[in-house]
Amino acid sequence: MGFTNKVQLITYPDSLGGGLAALHDVLRHDFPGLFPGGVHILPPFPSSGDRGFAPLDYERISPEFGTWEDLQRIGAGTPIMLDVMVNHMSRQSAPVQDFLSRGSASPYADMFITPDKVWRDGPPSEADLARLALRRASPFSRYRVGEDGREVTLWTTFGRQDPSEQVDLDWRSPAYRRFIGDVLQGLHRRGVSLVRLDAIGYVVKKPGTDCFFVQPDIYEFLRWIRGLADGMRIEILPELHARPELQEALGAEGYWTYDFILPYAILEALLRGEPSLLRRHLGRRSPRQFTMLDCHDGIPLKPDLDGLYDPASARAVAQACGDRGGNFSRIVSPSHRDPDGFDVHQIRCTYYSALGESDERYLAARAIQLFAPGVPQVYYVGLLAGGNDAEAVQRTGEGREINRHNYTRREIQENVRRPVVRKLMDLLRFRNTYPAFDGSFRILPAHASELKMRWENGRDACTLAVEFPAGRASIEYLDRSGRTVSDLL
């Protein structure tokens, strides 16, 4: 089963009710039929860090979340998408631990990347290191290996600790290829038909480059893994935060991509009253994309919008979100920041809080997302129009926790009764069921401070009109009797 033109939910396994069994009940009783496009469950596997993104293995569901049977019950009603971290695995995983224990005698020894695998003529120069697209201060960690405890340097793109909990993998290694093949086979065996390839931009390491989405090598990797997935009837979604031209190149190769430009473009239009960036983007984007407003990391800015955003507007939008309690992830590499030093990678803030917790603006933002061509994905906090969780940030010291609140069943039921959530659920049902969304899309002429989006499919037609910055929005459509219905959000 591939991706369908219906709404998909993204959630942690324990964020809606406390576990997978509770999630199944919540989907049945609180959001029945709302997500026929699927449920993207963020990593439910045993993990040693990064809230699931440092996996120990893919054979087990972490007992705190439930079982494979719980996950398969959810999958009986809607497709399931899971992540495969193609770039790294946990330091505590069996392959890494075997290598740290046995060194070169380990059958997994060739899975990991030492600097000499990349720079074969000697250690990397300062210029080489300055060129790298970094996610932490250093791309390397040192580990003690073997009985003699000798120190070995391994590539570690991610991780807050030193040495890192997330160890990078060498995709050219036979052991890696066997490992990924086994992972996909295991997911296929359990009925998982949709897989997101997490952190794919960092897979290829090559001297003389920034080691990020290295072309054409990355397409060799993608062709290999797509060949595996196609043989198991698994649809893959590469996850790539990159400059617009790299996303476009990936899409031109026939892959689904994320529209990471849309969230900021909508936010800027509603906060600044200037929809020109949004209008330009909607007029040129590919329909073969996943749309989103929020996610477990943040609202993308750099490098996803490099060359597109106005620097003054970007600073003003970021400042507005900061004033409402948000925080930021930053570009680590100096060479990848703007010349004036602007370095916001992602804005960490719930979308509802970013818009000043205005129901009107929030529903307008969601309506724009749902009218944009592609597969709409709604993050669970956004589904409940959640506000910033400042207490979680203070408790954990992790800025991303601001948009990762875990809802109890009682909290879910209370939020579902809020008018903004009820209206959003109505919007999602309309997006899932109205036939025009399977037809053709266009932007209609409008005043500079307005946006009009229209879908047509035979006799069925619907138009969204939004005024900026107020966020006043209305949907006009033909019902089954041919009568024109106008609905003010």
Of the candidates 159, 154, 199, 203, which has an alpha carbon nearest to the alpha carbon of residue 50? 159
- Asked if residues 167 and 153 have their Cβ atoms less than 8 Å apart, the reply is no
Could you give the CA distance from residue 17 to residue 410 in angstroms, rounded to a whole number?
Answer: 8
Of the candidates 268, 395, 394, 244, which has an alpha carbon nearest to the alpha carbon of residue 319? 268
pLDDT at position 1: 58
Q: Which of 239, 268, 401, 460 is catalytic?
A: 239
CB atoms within 10 A of CB 344: 24
pLDDT at position 2: 78
Say whether 182 is catalytic.
no
- Asked if residues 312 and 484 have their Cβ atoms less than 8 Å apart, the reply is no
- The Cβ-side half-sphere exposure at 181, using a 13 Å CA radius, reads 10
Q: Give the DSSP letter string of 376-434.
A: EEEEHHHHTTPPP-HHHHHHH--GGGGG-PPBPHHHHHHHHTSHHHHHHHHHHHHHHH-
Say whether 360 is catalytic.
no
Torsion-angle region of residue 231: left (phi > 0), alpha (psi -120 to 50) or beta?
Answer: alpha
- The tens place of each residue's pLDDT in the chain, 489 residues long, gives 579 999 999 999 999 999 999 999 999 999 999 999 999 999 999 999 999 999 999 999 999 999 999 999 999 999 999 999 999 999 999 999 999 999 999 999 999 999 999 999 999 999 999 999 999 999 999 999 998 899 999 999 999 899 999 999 999 999 999 999 999 999 999 999 999 999 999 999 999 999 999 999 999 999 999 999 999 999 999 999 999 999 999 999 999 999 999 999 999 999 999 899 999 999 999 999 999 999 999 999 999 999 999 999 999 999 999 999 999 999 998 888 999 999 999 999 999 999 999 999 999 999 999 999 999 999 999 999 999 999 999 999 999 999 999 999 999 999 999 999 999 999 999 999 999 999 999 999 999 999 999 999 999 999 999 999 999 999 999 998 889 998 878
Give pLDDT tens digits for 366-406: 999 999 999 999 999 999 999 999 999 999 999 999 999 99
Per-residue tokens: 222: 């993608």
pLDDT at position 357: 98
Q: Which of 168, 198, 294, 389 is catalytic?
A: 198
- What is the SS3 assignment for 319? helix
- Beta pairing, strands 38-41 & 80-85: parallel
Prediction pTM value: 0.96
